Structure 1
Amino acid sequence: MWREIEPDARHEIEVDGYRIVAYSFGSGDETVFCLNGGPGLPCDYLREAHSCLIDKGYRVVAFDQLGTGASDRPSNKALWTIGRYVQETEAVRTALGLGKVHMLGHSWGGWLAIDYALTYPENLKTLILEDTVADMPHLISELERLRAALGPESVAMMQKHEARGTYDHPEYLAAVTILNYRHVCRLPEWPAPVRRSLDDWNMGPYQTMQGSNEFLYIGNLKDWNRISDLPGLSMPVLITTGEHDELTPACSVRMKLALPHAELKVFANASHMPFYESPHDYYPALLDFLSRHRAS
């Protein structure tokens, strides 16, 4: 089960002239390399949810992506692209000498993990895609379905503010808050690592790549789609999602059908963070998958 653990090592890595900070837990021969969501979030929430894998003999590595957490925070919008983040991820893996890893990507980190896997498949033992998608246009249609559950008046109100760009209007924010508690984290009190990441959110990368909130995709990733490329991935893949996930189970099924060696776990009563919402279901599923694909 998750708990907050001090890292065994904190690394500073220079990537294209910028400082990237990474965190390492444990000393196992098998490494779980975590790519957190956002974009623009520090890695705290995902790091703290998976550092406990050291109890089962794994090394766990996470890092604050450029623009987040303790890493450098430049303001150049041209830096906020998935391709540059793929190269940053490879630079971190190489600098830390991780070798072949179990790559675990959550949410935006899953999109990053997919593009990394397509670029550097030889560096992965397995791919773990958590609460993520491979087809942004399909996701956008699914989000419209989730928004519609608020009712036609609320949908019309949201569309009005989106047309005007008044994303900070109280009634618009109220609708987003309801959607967050339905589809991002269904716990009445969000865990401290989640709050810590959210409180330190850099909206520069987020707004450039995604949009103003979790239910509006208007950034440079809005047309991203890798479904047609997934059949070329030969490594074992675990896909996980929550029953009420904002990145819906339908999106997960779409990935599973495109991948040649994938399995899918849907966690009941959870949304976008099953590792916090349904830990008694989540950790056994993850550990079972990892144990079946450990080096003998």
Structure 2
Amino acid sequence: MWREIVADERVEVEVDGFTVVAYLFGTGDETVFCLNGGPGLPSDYLRDAHSCLVDHGYRVVAFDQLGTGASDRPEDAGLWTIGRYVEETETVRRRLGLGRVHLLGHSWGGWLAIDYALKYRENLKTLILEDTVADMPHLVSELERLRAALGSETVAMMQKHEAAGTIDHPEYLAAITILNYRHVCRLPEWPAPVRRSLDDWNMGPYVTMQGPNEFLYTGNLKDWNRIPDLPGLDVPVLITVGEHDELTPACAMRMKNALPNAELRVFRNSSHMPFYENPQDYYAALTDFLARHRSS
């Protein structure tokens, strides 16, 4: 089960003239390389949820992506592209000498992991896609369905504020808060690592790449779709999703159907963070998958 663990090493990695900070746990021969969500979030919430894998003999590595956490925070919006983050991920893997890894991507980190895997398949032992999607237009249609559950008047109110550019209005923010507690984390008190990440959110990368909130996609990834490319990705894949996830089980199934060697686990009583909401089922599924794909 998750717990907060102090990293064994904190390493600064130079990436194209900037400094990116990585965190290393354990000394196992098998490395779980974590790509957290956001964009713009520091790695705390995912790092603290997975460093406990050291108990199973794995080395766990996470890093604060450029613009987040302890890493440099340039303000050039031209840096916030998925292609640049793919190369950043490869630079960190190579500079740390990680070799072939179990690549674990959560949410936006899953989009990043997919693009990384399509370019650097040879560096992967497995791919773990958590609470994520491979088809943004399909996700947008799913988000509209989740929004519709608030009722037609509330949806009309949200659309009015989005059209008028007044998404900071209290009634709009109240609707987003309800959606967050239904579909992002259903716990009455969000865990401390989640709060730390959210309190240090850099909205620059987030707005540029995704949009102003979790339920409105207007950024440079709004048309991103890798479903046509997934049939050629033959690495073993574990897909996980919460039954109430904002990145819905339908999105997860769309990935599974496109991948040649994938398995899917849906976790009850959880949404976008099953590792906190339903840790018993989540860790059992993750450690079972990793154990079946250890190098002999």
Q: Same fold (TM over 0.5)?
A: yes
Q: CA deviation at 1:47?
A: 0.1
Query: 1:95 matched to which residue of 2?
Result: 95
Partners in 2 of 1:217 and 1:254 — Cα distance?
Answer: 19
Look up the SS of the partner of 1:49 in the other structure.
helix
- Alpha-carbon distance in 1 for matches of 2:19, 2:47: 19
Counterpart Cα distance in 1 of 2:211 and 2:2: 30
Instruction: Tell me which stretches of 4 or more aligned residues in structure 1 moved more than 4 Å.
Output: none
The residue correspondences of 1:1-296 to structure 2 (distance < 5 A) are 1-296=1-296
Question: Secondary structure at 1:32's aligned position in 2?
Answer: strand
Q: Provide the TM-score with structure 1 as the length reference.
A: 1.00
- How far apart are 1:167 and its partner, in Å? 1.4
Counterpart of 1:164, as a letter, is A
Give the percent of matched residue pairs that are identical in Structure 1 and Structure 2: 82
Aligned-partner Cα distance in 1 for 2:18–2:42:
16
- List per-residue Cα deviations over 1:8-43 (Å, max 9, x = no partner): 000000000000000000000000000000000000
User: Which amino acid in 2 is paired with 1:107?
Assistant: S
Structure 1: runs of 5 or more not aligned: none
Q: Secondary structure at the match of 2:27?
A: coil
Secondary structure of the residue that 1:84 maps to in structure 2?
helix
- In 1, the alpha carbon distance for the partners of 2:82 and 2:166 equals 27
Q: How far does residue 293 in structure 1 lie from its aligned partner after superposition?
A: 0.1
- Residue 187 of structure 1 aligns to a residue whose secondary structure is coil
Residue 57 of structure 1 deviates from its aligned partner by 0.1
Q: SS at 1:48's partner residue?
A: helix
**What is the Cα-based RMSD across aligned positions, in Å?**
0.3
Give, as a single letter, the amino acid of the residue that structure 1 aligns with 2:26: G
SS in 2 for 1:63: strand
Say which SS state the counterpart of residue 20 (structure 2) adopts: strand
Which consecutive unaligned segments of at least 5 residues does structure 2 have?
none
SS at match of 2:196: helix
Letter in 2 for 1:221: L
Aligned length: 296
Structure-2-length-normalised TM-score: 1.00
Separation in 2 of the partners of 1:9 and 1:194?
A: 22
Shift, 1:78, TM fit: 0.2
Counterparts of 2:231 and 2:72, CA distance in 1: 36
Code of the residue aligned with 2:215 in structure 1: it is F
